[in-house]
Structure 1
Amino acid sequence: MRALITGGAGFIGSNIALELQNKGYDTVVLDDFSSGNFKNLHGYEGDVISESILDVDLNKFKDIDAIFHEAAITDTTVKDQKLMMQINTEGFRRLLNFAVKNDIKFIYASSAATYGNAKSPQKEEYAGKPNNIYGFSKWICDCIAKKYMKKYPDSHIVGLRYFNVFGPREQYKGKMASMVWQLAKQMADGKNPRIFKWGEQKRDQVYVKNIVQINLLALDAKESYIVNAGSGNAVSFNHIIEVLNDVLGFDYKPEYFDNPYEEFYQDFTQADLTNAKKYLGYEPKWNFEDAVKDYVEWLKENRYI
Structure 2
Amino acid sequence: MILVVGGLNGFIGSNTTEALGEQGQECVVTRHDNTEVPRFLQKHIDRRHVFIEPADATSTADLRRIGEKHKIDGIVNVGGGFKAESPVPGLKGYFDMLAATVQVAVEWKVKRVTFSSTGGVYLGVQGQADEEQPILLQSPFPILAYQKIVEVAANEFAKKTGISTICVRLMGMYGPFDGAQLGLPARLVHAAVAGVAPNLENVFFGNTDDAIDLCYVKDMARAIALIQTAEKLQYDVYNIASGKPTPNKELVEAVKRVVPDFKVDLPPGHFPFPPLPPVETKRLQADTGFSPRFDTRSAIQDYVDWLKAGNPK
Partner in structure 1 of residue 129 of structure 2:
122
Give the 3 Å change call, closer, same or farther, for CA 220–55 of structure 1 in structure 2.
same
Return the offset for 1:22: 4.0
Q: 1:301 to 1:254 in 2, by over 3 A?
A: same
What is the CA deviation profile of residues 42-66 of structure 1, one whole-angstrom value per residue up to 9, with x for unaligned ones?
4452332222111242333442011
**What is the letter of the counterpart of residue 52 of structure 1?**
D
Shift, 1:91, TM fit: 0.7
Cα distance change on mapping 1:60 and 1:266 into 2, 3 Å:
farther
Q: Report the more deviating stretch, 41-50 or 82-91.
A: 41-50
Quote the residue 2:184 is aligned against.
Answer: 179
Please identify, of 265-274 and 37-46, the stretch whose mean Cα deviation from structure 2 is larger. Answer: 37-46
For residue 3 of structure 2, give the secondary structure of its aligned residue in structure 1.
strand
Q: What is the Cα deviation at residue 239 of structure 1?
A: 2.3
Alpha-carbon distance, 1:39 to partner: 4.1
5 Å matches for 1:223-238? 223=233, 224-238=235-249
User: Counterpart of 1:122 in structure 2: which amino acid?
Assistant: A
Letter in 1 for 2:117: S
- Using the size of structure 2 for normalisation, the TM-score is 0.82
5+ unaligned residues in a row in structure 1: which ranges? Answer: none
Does residue 48 of structure 2 align to residue 38 of structure 1?
no
Q: Which moved more, 1:98-107 or 1:3-12?
A: 98-107
| Closer/same/farther in 2, CA of residues 110 and 71 from structure 1, 3 Å limit | same
Residue 146 in structure 1 maps to residue 138 in structure 2: no
Q: How does 1:97-246 map to 2 (within 5 A)?
A: 97-104=103-110, 105-126=112-133, 127-129=135-137, 130-152=139-161, 154-170=162-178, 172-173=179-180, 175-176=181-182, 178-193=183-198, 195=200, 198-218=207-227, 219-223=229-233, 224-246=235-257
Residue in 2 that maps onto 1:272: 280
Q: Work out whether residues 203 and 270 of structure 1, in 8 Å CA contact, stay in contact via their aligned partners in 2.
A: yes
Aligned residue pair count: 294
Q: TM-score, normalised by structure 1?
A: 0.84
CA distance 1:30–1:251, shift in 2 (3 Å): closer
1:238 shift after superposition: 2.8
- Shift in Å at residue 266 of structure 1? 5.0
Q: Distance in 2 between matches of 1:281 and 1:266?
A: 32
* Residue number among 46, 50, 54 corresponding to 2:54 in the alignment: 50
Task: Check conservation: 2:60, 2:101, Cα contact below 8 A.
Answer: no
Cα RMSD (Å) of the superposition? 2.8
Is contact 2:130-2:280 (8 Å) kept? Answer: yes
| Partner residue in 2 for 1:26 | 26
- Distance change in 2, residues 1:53/1:273 (3 Å): same
Q: Which amino acid aligns with 1:102?
A: W
1:92-149 residue CA offsets vs partner (Å, 9 max, x unmatched): 2431343145321211211112223222322123333432110110011101112223
* Structure 2 unaligned blocks of 5 or more: none
Find the aligned partners of 1:143 and 1:271 in 2 and give their Cα distance. Answer: 20
The SS at the match of 1:125 is: coil
Matches within 5 A, 1:51-70: 51-57=55-61, 58-62=63-67, 63-70=71-78
What do the CA deviations read for 1:232-265 (whole angstroms, capped 9, x no partner)? 1111223221110111112524142899x95xx4
Aligned residue for 1:96? 102
What is the CA–CA distance in structure 1 between the aligned matches of 2:14 and 2:150, rounded to whole Å? Answer: 22
Take 1:74 and 1:299, find their aligned partners in 2: how far apart are those partners? 27
Identity across aligned pairs (percent)? Answer: 18
Distance 1:301 1:270 in 2: 33
Give 1:275 deviation, angstroms: 1.8
- Among 93, 115, 135, the alignment partner of 1:87 is 93
Provide, for residues 60-87 of structure 1, a one-character-per-residue CA deviation record: whole Å limited to 9, x for no partner: 3442011111111177xx6532222222
Question: What SS class does the counterpart of residue 132 from structure 2 fall into?
Answer: helix
Q: CA deviation at 1:24?
A: 3.6
Cα distance in 2, alignment partners of residues 213 and 240 from structure 1? 22
